[in-house]
Structure 1
Amino acid sequence: MTETVDIALLANLLQEAAAKEILPRFRNLGSDDVRMKSEAIDLVTEADEAAERLIKARVAEFAPSAVFIGEESVAADPLLLDKLSGADLAVVVDPIDGTFNYAAGMPLFGVMASVVAKGETVAGIIYDPMGNDWVIAERGSGAWLCKADGSQERLAVSPGVPLEALVGCASTGFYDPQDRRTIMGNMAKVRIATSYRCAAHEYRAFAGGHFHFLMYKKLMPWDHLAGALISAEAGAYIARFDGSPYTARDLDGGLLLASDRESWELLRREVFTI
């Protein structure tokens, strides 16, 4: 019998990690608790590493055969990422999404986890430690906001609107300078294009109908698998820039999410084209 991951246990685990390792350190980090990774805007903190250690240990208890893919684990062992697409079962975790915000004392960060079975994302969770609630989806079951009091609210993306009325988030930092100038110039065609520097909250807002689109260039699985599934279950149209489906094995090719296919094609043609 194939092992599965209890999504409720996983949701509670993210809450536990936040309560024990993330929130006590929020706005209490010392100078030695924050380190630069690839560049000054790519940070890791003691909270990221401690939270991931806790989550990894707990996952090993209730899903011992699952391959654990955590952002900080992959930073320490990049070859670990190669195991994701071929694993029968994997749990993918971002212990703190929005680390730059977290380290700066801004309350805009989240904890994300997804479950991948034989290369297919089957469940996703985005937990907001500040609001103490979860956005959760299991494939084929819709997307839901689950509140701390046990109540639930089904999520749905916003209906499409004309190009000049579109509001969304776009991450342009991984384009080369010339392409970034082109994209940022094109974004003047929409009403608002911003970035929270936190995919967790961008996906939550989009799936809840508060944004019309999201765009990302770099595709690390811990940043996007949970949010993409949640968005799809909320009714979004999602594809890589070439129109192909987004899967757990994709690390590049860009990702564009919109309220519907017509909006996606409009954005791809008028805004996110080089």
Structure 2
Amino acid sequence: MTLPLDITKLADLLRLAAKAEILPRFRRLGSGDVRSKSEPSDLVTEADEAAERMIRRELEAFAPGALFVGEESVAADPSLLAKLADAEFAVVVDPVDGTFNFASGIPAFGVMASVVWKGETVAGIIYDPMGDDWVMAERGAGAFLRRPDGEVIRLSVADARPIEAMIGMASPGYFFGGERERILGNLAKVRFFANYRCSAHEYRTFAGGHVQFVLYNKLMPWDHLAGTLIGTEAGGYVARFDGSPYMPHHVDGGLLLATDKESWQMLRNEIIGP
């Protein structure tokens, strides 16, 4: 399909922002450079804000008609999020995904962007500043690992496994009360699950064929639009917990991405429950 902007140029912009505003601050943040937002573990740093400003400024030069939806822009103006549902053309950005890790000096964070066109996610990019490479996808064209030297490798999800042999990524922190206890108990049915506190790397791990599923309850577009498109273009199957399609404007309903539809249904029945 014809995209409304140059996806490679957008990918390169994420890299430039990381090199200019994110990496120079890694493990060099001062006491006033980190602040809490909704709770003590929900952080924002000077790197998040500076990188988002740079991406937004440069994006205006080659995609002037796009609605810009950045995580930090929405934090400053929550009404911006609602505009995504009706936008013909939008670019959604997470300047530092895994801010808790970044602020803690843990080298597991990423820069993500997705392109929404006429209500659908049509492109997704996850850049890893530490590894200096991207995973990228355009709707209908497959998912790829791209390196700065021009090397491109097609991505494919893992083979399906029975549930007792599955390895996955799950984020139980946004389930609460008895529901969290139930979900954590049900996750004992799989072989192993992990949580990197960074959806960028969790989606990369899935699309690279290393795990059989990823599971989230909290849905914000900058956390999931790029990763779900990349995961499905690598061969996976995604839906909200009730089986409905995941759309750019959704902020609830949970999200499960699995290697195929049969595995998705098995996980839905055994982990989420009826």
Q: Does TM, normalized by the shorter one, top 0.5?
A: yes
In structure 2, the partner of 1:200 is 200
Native 8 Å contact 2:135 2:143 kept in 1: yes
Tell me the distance in 2 between the aligned counterparts of 1:132 and 1:148: 7
In structure 1, the partner of 2:19 is 19
Tell me the distance in 2 between the aligned counterparts of 1:195 and 1:37: 21
Per-residue deviation, 1:171? 0.8
SS where residue 210 of structure 2 aligns? coil
Could you tell me the TM-score, scaled by structure 2's length? 0.98
Question: In the alignment, does 2:92 pair up with 1:82?
Answer: no
In structure 2, the partner of 1:134 is 134
**CA deviation string 1:130-175 (max 9, x = no partner):** 0000000000100000012110000000011011110001111111
Native 8 Å contact 2:3 2:122 kept in 1: no
For residue 122 of structure 1, what is the amino acid of its counterpart?
Answer: V
Native 8 Å contact 1:155 1:209 kept in 2: yes
In structure 2, the partner of 1:92 is 92
Percent sequence identity over aligned pairs? 64
Correspondence 1:123-272 to 2 at 5 A: 123-272=123-272
In structure 1, the partner of 2:118 is 118
SS where residue 27 of structure 1 aligns? coil
Tell me the distance in 2 between the aligned counterparts of 1:213 and 1:167: 7
Per-residue deviation, 1:4? 1.4
For residue 175 of structure 1, what is the amino acid of its counterpart?
Answer: F
Native 8 Å contact 1:157 1:234 kept in 2: yes
Per-residue deviation, 1:3? 8.2
For residue 105 of structure 1, what is the amino acid of its counterpart?
Answer: G
For residue 144 of structure 1, what is the amino acid of its counterpart?
Answer: F
Task: Give me the CA root mean square deviation.
Answer: 1.0
Native 8 Å contact 1:14 1:111 kept in 2: yes
Tell me the distance in 2 between the aligned counterparts of 1:12 and 1:3: 16
Question: In the alignment, does 2:36 pair up with 1:36?
Answer: yes
**CA deviation string 1:169-208 (max 9, x = no partner):** 1111111221101110111110111100000000001001
Tell me the distance in 1 between the aligned counterparts of 2:177 and 2:193: 18
Per-residue deviation, 1:249? 1.3
For residue 220 of structure 1, what is the amino acid of its counterpart?
Answer: M
Per-residue deviation, 1:121? 0.4
SS where residue 264 of structure 1 aligns? helix
Q: 1:3 to 1:146 in 2, by over 3 A?
A: closer
SS where residue 20 of structure 2 aligns? helix
Per-residue deviation, 1:273? 2.3
Aligned residues: 273
Q: 1:146 to 1:182 in 2, by over 3 A?
A: same
Could you tell me the TM-score, scaled by structure 1's length? 0.98
SS where residue 193 of structure 2 aligns? strand
Native 8 Å contact 2:219 2:252 kept in 1: yes
Q: 1:267 to 1:22 in 2, by over 3 A?
A: same
